[in-house]
Amino acid sequence: MACELTRDKAFFAFSPDTEPVVRVAQGEELLLTTHDCFSGQLKTTADTLETLDWSITNPATGPVYIEGTKPGDLLRIDLHEVKATGPSVMVAVPQVGALGDFITEEETVIVEHRGETVVFKDKVVVKQNPMLGVIGVAPAEGVIPNSTPGIHGGNMDCTLVTSGSSLYLTVGVEGALFGCGDMHAVMGDGEVVICGAETPGEVRLTPQVVAIPGLPTPFIENDEIVAVIGSAETVDAAYKIVLGMMHEFLTKVAGLPNNDAALLMSLVGNLKFCQVVDPLMTVRFEFPKSVLADYGYVLPR
């Protein structure tokens, strides 16, 4: 029996003190719907950020209390399906985002969905890769707005957070208080203008506590790769975080020799941007699972 949760049950900051709206057992499937990052306020090209109610931006559906989770637990979220229901919206705004200096006129673009694609201004057809920008658990203490990424997850805007991947987070409080939202039908690494194709959507996932001692989080895997995700005030600081996390994973968890880990990170690992437009910058480091297998290591399921 799947547990269902609709997008009207949303929160705007990850906090230990927010009351959960639903409880699920570990291993139970959770079906939830999500708003776009503007809570659906931008419906036509005439709707702009000037009239936007900023207090309801970046909603995450939840919080979800996951039975039997306690601080320090490693929580694996299996994303069975991330489905964009559309239509999507994009905005370009002067002085906003990493391209703000180049934008002179504000514009809102409605991006239609057609099958497995989105269509930009009736001209450009782009294959969808529906992904969740915001996904996380409550921190042990403090209140983190959904606009901000961190070790709890949050607004990481990582294109790997999509159907078929598993995200690992460290639980901060009893029950985890999980939530997700800010779906993009598709987004380029960097999210440079400040948005992807911002869309409402449907998500099917299963949460489960697992034991992989020493796994650095946030950590994500799909069929091909594992990756660690890190956020900091600058991309320089963020990339140092993910290099350290991946080297630690490879040596302490997967058992690679120290120099092999470093050399292979340089040979077949990829350092990539997630986003450079949120209050903290987010990058990730990807490493192929096939190389872990060469060293006899398989992530336990």
* Site residues for Ca ion per CB under 5 A: 133, 155, 157, 182
**Cis bond leading into 149, ω under 30°?**
no
Using alpha carbons only, what angle is made at residue 128 by residues 127 and 132, rounded to the nearest 5 degrees? 155
Least separation, in Å, of the C-beta of 23 and Ca ion?
27
To Ca ion, the closest distance from the beta carbon of 17 in angstroms equals 23
What is the CA angle 281-286-289, rounded to 5? 155
Tell the smallest beta-carbon distance from residue 196 to Ca ion (Å): 8
Q: How far is CA 20 from CA 33, 65, 264, in A?
A: 16, 6, 43
Rounded CA gap, 162 and 160, in Å? 5
Site string for Zn ion, 65-84 (x = CB under 5 A): --------------------
Q: Which is nearer to Ca ion, 161 or 265 (CB)?
A: 161
Asked if 182 is part of the footprint of Zn ion (rule: CB under 5 A), the reply reads: yes
Of the pair 34, 69, the CB lying nearest Ca ion is at 34
In the bound state with Zn ion, the residue whose beta carbon lies nearer, of 20 and 133, is 133
Nearer to Zn ion, 87 or 133 (CB): 133
Structure tokens at 128: 């969808």
Residue 155 binds what, of Ca ion, Zn ion, none (CB under 5 to 8 Å, by partner type)? Answer: Ca ion
Considering only 10, 21, 24, 37, the residue that binds Zn ion (CB under 5 A) is 37
Residue nearest to Ca ion (CB): 133
* Whether the Cβ atoms of residue 281 and residue 242 lie closer than 8 Å to each other: no
Is residue 274 within 8 A of residue 159, CB to CB? The reply is yes
Residue 139 or 154 having the CB closest to Ca ion = 154
**Residue 101 CB burial class (10 angstroms; 0-12, 13-18, ≥19):** exposed
**Under rule CB under 5 A, which residues in 131-150 are in contact with Zn ion?**
133
Decide if residue 59 touches Zn ion (CB under 5 A): no
Which is nearer to Zn ion, 253 or 274 (by Cβ)?
A: 274
For residue 149, what are the β-bridge partners? 154
Q: In angstroms, give the least distance from the CB of 58 to Zn ion.
A: 7
Contact (Cβ atoms closer than 8 angstroms) between residue 37 and residue 182: yes
CB of 37 to Ca ion, least distance (A): 6
Q: Give the SS3 label for residue 185.
A: coil
For Zn ion (CB under 5 A), the number of binding residues is 4
Q: Residue 274 is encoded by which pair of tokens? A: 């997630």
Residues that bind Zn ion (CB under 5 A): 37, 133, 182, 198
